[in-house]
Amino acid sequence: MTIRELREEHGWSQAQLADRVGVSLKTVDHWERGLLQPDDEQLKVLGDVFHLPGEEIVLQDPIEQE
């Protein structure tokens, strides 16, 4: 699942996810739009926040990869 899908599944706003991960709202927005990717530490924190291995987080929507 993408970061956006996981965030929406939890019912969180981008700001709420940013607070939980310790990054800016702009960073979360950039992750979700595929403009920026989380570094290894941020990916680990995202995995902890979403209760799954970081490797299972898809970093951008497949449509945006084309």
Sign of CA dihedral 10, 17, 43, 58: positive
- Tell me, what's the pLDDT at 66? 43
C-alpha–C-alpha distance, residues 6 and 62, integer Å? 15
pLDDT in tens, the chain (66 residues): 999 999 999 999 999 999 999 999 999 999 999 999 999 999 999 999 999 998 888 876 555 544
3: buried, middle or exposed (CB in 10 Å: 19+, 13-18, 0-12)? buried
Q: What is the pTM of this model?
A: 0.85
Q: Does domain 3-57 have CATH number 3.10.20.30?
A: no
Domain assignments of the chain as residue spans, ordered by start: 3-57
